[in-house]
Amino acid sequence: MRINKILIVLGEPYSTFSEILFKYFNSREFSENKKKIILIGCKNLLYKQMKKLKYKCNLKSINNLKDAKVSQINILNVNYNSKKIFSEITSSSKKYISNCFSLALKLIKTNKEIALINGPISKKYFLNKKYLGVTEYISKKTKSKNQVMLIYNDEISVSPITTHLPLKFVAKNINKKKIINNAMQIKKFYENFLNKKPKIAILGLNPHCETIDNFSEEKKIIIPSIKFLKKANFNVEGPFPADTFFLKKNIHKFDVVIGMYHDQVLTPLKTLYNFSAINLTLGLPFIRISPDHGPNNSMIGRNESDPSSIFYAMKLIKKIRWKYYLKKV
């Protein structure tokens, strides 16, 4: 069973994502997914941006999923009062983005076999410190618990225990329950959707997995978590020191690396693979993907953005197989 519809929430009205989509729409790869893709966003603004960047795409508004046609790029219109084609990101887009997500989640609730891709969103203006990230925002809206961030790459994927959390709060927010949940969600995703039993590496928190403090997160939290997972027949090893783990001789032994905080695992991954990775939210009752880049306001309108991440997202969607129907949101 395959995904038969891909909803793309356009995200920030002013970002490089429209340019990235135009590059994808003008590629050979797009023909494979043309009948599946439904955009959600402001058609008028997207059309103006297309003209400004000198792309040609047959954008057409539709009223529902059944109206979608292969001969056009289908978009469910959500109005946005834009005076400029490109501009700075402000809080004025908050309601618009919220409406886009509401429509997408409503459609997913009543239609199975749908994947959701969202364009980049400003954490400063849209989330406004109410949520750590879009992962947490969508989890709240769908009343989902135990969500996990997985940055997926065919060679090696990474998953941070704490997501967009300031470093000073990281140690206090690491516990056995979170580590076990991350490993469980990762194992479920790989086995159910990719038909593969993942080899998981878990990193320590402290340099060289050592500390001069009386309390060692490795001894008290991480090692007991690994022992529990091994008893539950998980293919897991660790804890590994983060400073040497991402050497090529090490990473090729594993499918996924669980780290204790965001930059511990995302920095080396992006250094090694640039934009050939995507952000997946595990633990939701549907597939949610986000290209692994931000709005990049400074690059808007320059037609110089790397579209690799959207191509990688589509590649993964093609690879996924569903072994069971998704639960309703």
Q: Same domain for 256 and 193?
A: yes
Q: Same domain for 66 and 1?
A: yes
Could you tell me if 179 and 260 are in contact, meaning their C-beta atoms sit under 8 angstroms apart? no
pLDDT of residue 10: 95
| Predicted structure pTM score | 0.89
Residue given tokens 């690799």 in the structure block: 308
pLDDT of residue 257: 98
Q: Which domain holds residue 7?
A: 1-144+284-329
Q: Same domain for 177 and 138?
A: no
Q: Same domain for 5 and 130?
A: yes
How would you class 116 by CB atoms within 10 Å of its CB: exposed for 0-12, middle for 13-18, buried for 19 or more?
Answer: buried
Of 260, 279, 298, the one marking the end of a domain is 279
Could you tell me if 116 and 108 are in contact, meaning their C-beta atoms sit under 8 angstroms apart? yes
Question: Using 50, 70 and 90 to split pLDDT, how confident is the model at 249?
Answer: confident
Q: Same domain for 13 and 132?
A: yes
**In angstroms, what CA-CA distances link 307 with 13, 276, 278?**
17, 9, 12
The structure tokens listed for 243 are 């400073």
Helix 17-25 to helix 308-319 angle (10° resolution) is 60
Q: What is the pLDDT of residues 303-325, one digit of tens each?
A: 888 888 899 899 888 887 754 43
Give the CATH number of the domain where residue 156 resides. 3.40.718.10
Q: How many domains does the chain have?
A: 2
How large is the C-alpha radius of gyration of the chain?
A: 20
Q: What is the pLDDT of residues 165-221, one digit of tens each?
A: 999 999 999 999 999 999 999 999 999 888 899 999 999 999 999 888 878 999 999
Q: Same domain for 125 and 175?
A: no
